[in-house]
Amino acid sequence: MTACPFHARHDADAPAVTRPTRTIVPVRANANANAEASLSANTNTNTNTSTSTSTSTSTSIGASASADAVVVHNPAAEALLAPLLDPALRMRPPGEPLPPPLRTQGGPLAEVFARWLRQRDDATHAPEKAALSRALLALSDDDVRAHARRQAAIAARGGWSHWHWAVPASTVASLLGLAMDDVDAQRRLHGRLRAMAAGLGAQAEDEAVRAGGEAVAALLAALDDAEHRAPDAPLQWTLLRHAAPPRWTDRATFTANRLALIWQSHEAGAALLGHALLEEGRTRGPRVGEAPTREDLLRLAREGGAVRVTRRFDVRQTPPAPVTVPLAGTDAPFGDGAHRCPGRGLALETSLAALQWLAEQPALRPPTAIAPLALPNMDIPQFKDEELFP
């Protein structure tokens, strides 16, 4: 396992699999050809295009390419497929949609977990993912930037220990129409997401799962309320237009995956933003006006500054064996294949806009790094609880 370039601490209990390069997968060429065709059919404004087809406006390409890749049944080709493209590597062991703590305790956290696209490989995953990807692609960068800048300005009043944690999830919540108007609202959201994180822990106690469930219930109710009170909120609007409840197995699956947009942005977003602060020391006075570029953030993510590994279960083995799949050190920090991140564009635009806002603030006090939060799949930098402005 590659050591974290930022914090020399990492260990995993599952064997790592190496990631073959793309060029040896002839079948993939066909998939890309199809993707190119579909791209010209439904491209919208999100322009974070780069040369290699598999990463331009990744969500739509990802969805169509992975759907094509699944038809590959040539065992030799499958053995060569990158782990993220290997249909035998699944999110959950067959028949076990829930990890033990959630299976035992049940409740709202278990109910949303079982419905999350992130945890499923069933037949409805691809069409639901495609609808969600269209809704995220339909978001305008201007809206994302405006909401991210506003949340960055509000979060600045919460100090350095709060800023990088608050901005990613508060921006998605604000785009969904939740009232994110002050630091207290950001802290309430953060507290609920940390309760969900504790309830999703591999060794979570019943009480943590119960408290996580309460947080889920509160957020689901807030999102339902926003759907009626603010249907024109940018992301609520694109969801209702491109991925409305009838496009999902049922309304509960729609609402669970709407909540997942906030959840998915939370830890990974804080990791990337925190590592950007660490790396550039962006707040030093003389560097005002200098913000990182999209390429800077992608490099950081590739180097391990976001999600470092992901996990699958190899269903060719009995019982299905857990497999750790490295993302750090590869060109797929936002994943690949069926589970490729549909929020890549939104995530990068949010971080860029927030760091740009920060770079425009004169006389900021630099943050003081303390021990990071080390999670099984990423390290999230932490900073001393100090004011941003002396």
Binding string, residues 222-241; x marks residues near ligand HEM by CB under 6 A: --------------------
Range in contact with ligand HEM (rule: CB under 6 A) among 103-111, 179-187, 190-198, 306-314: 306-314
Q: Which is nearer to ligand HEM, 185 or 328 (CB)?
A: 328
Q: Does residue 178 touch ligand HEM according to CB under 6 A?
A: no
Calpha distance 140→57 (Å, rounded): 13
Q: Which residue has the tokens 């065709």?
A: 37
Nearest distance in Å: CB 190, ligand HEM: 15
CA distances from 196 to 40, 107, 205, 309, 378 (A): 39, 12, 12, 20, 17
Q: Does residue 310 touch ligand HEM according to CB under 6 A?
A: yes
Q: Which is nearer to ligand HEM, 167 or 195 (CB)?
A: 167
Amino acid at 82: A
Nearest distance in Å: CB 390, ligand HEM: 30
- The residues, any chain, with a CB within 8 Å of residue 99's CB and separated by 6 or more, are 200, 202
Q: Does residue 381 touch ligand HEM according to CB under 6 A?
A: no
Q: Is residue 167 classed exposed, middle or buried when 0-12, 13-18 and 19+ CB atoms within 10 A define those classes?
A: buried
Calpha distance 147→352 (Å, rounded): 12
Calpha distance 187→205 (Å, rounded): 24
Nearest distance in Å: CB 387, ligand HEM: 26
Q: Is residue 82 within 8 Å of residue 222, measured between CB atoms?
A: no
Q: Which is nearer to ligand HEM, 72 or 270 (CB)?
A: 270
Question: Residue from 176, 204, 208, 341 that binds ligand HEM (CB under 6 A)?
Answer: 341
Nearest distance in Å: CB 142, ligand HEM: 17
Binding string, residues 250-289; x marks residues near ligand HEM by CB under 6 A: ----------xx--xx--xx--x-----------------
CA distances from 370 to 7, 160, 278, 386 (A): 11, 11, 11, 12
Residues 103-122 that bind ligand HEM (CB under 6 A): 117-118
- The residues, any chain, with a CB within 8 Å of residue 136's CB and separated by 6 or more, are 59, 235, 238, 261, 342, 343, 345, 346
Q: Does residue 165 touch ligand HEM according to CB under 6 A?
A: no
Residues 61-90 that bind ligand HEM (CB under 6 A): 84
Report DSSP letters for 224-238, one per residue: HHHHHH-TTSHHHHH
Q: Does residue 306 touch ligand HEM according to CB under 6 A?
A: yes
Total residues contacting ligand HEM by CB under 6 A comes to 26
Nearest distance in Å: CB 342, ligand HEM: 5
Q: Which is nearer to ligand HEM, 35 or 172 (CB)?
A: 172
How big, in percent rounded to 5, are the helix, strand and coil portions of the chain?
Answer: 60, 5, 35
Q: Does residue 342 touch ligand HEM according to CB under 6 A?
A: yes
Range in contact with ligand HEM (rule: CB under 6 A) among 50-58, 158-166, 188-196, 331-339: 331-339
Q: Are strands 379-383 and 89-90 parallel, antiparallel or unpaired?
A: unpaired
Nearest distance in Å: CB 363, ligand HEM: 28
Q: Are strands 321-326 and 309-314 parallel, antiparallel or unpaired?
A: antiparallel
Q: Alpha-carbon dihedral of residues 96, 97, 102, 108, nearest 10 degrees? A: -150
Nearest distance in Å: CB 306, ligand HEM: 3
Q: Does residue 343 touch ligand HEM according to CB under 6 A?
A: yes
Q: Which residue has the tokens 């995953």?
A: 125
Q: Which is nearer to ligand HEM, 213 or 337 (CB)?
A: 337
Q: Which is nearer to ligand HEM, 84 or 109 (CB)?
A: 84
Nearest distance in Å: CB 260, ligand HEM: 5
Question: Residue from 65, 167, 347, 364 that binds ligand HEM (CB under 6 A)?
Answer: 347
* Cα maximum dimension of the chain: 63
Sheet containing strand 321-326, strands side by side: 89-90, 309-314, 321-326
Binding footprint of ligand HEM on the chain (CB under 6 A): 84, 117-118, 129, 172, 260-261, 264-265, 268-269, 272, 301, 306-307, 310, 327, 333-335, 339, 341-343, 346-347
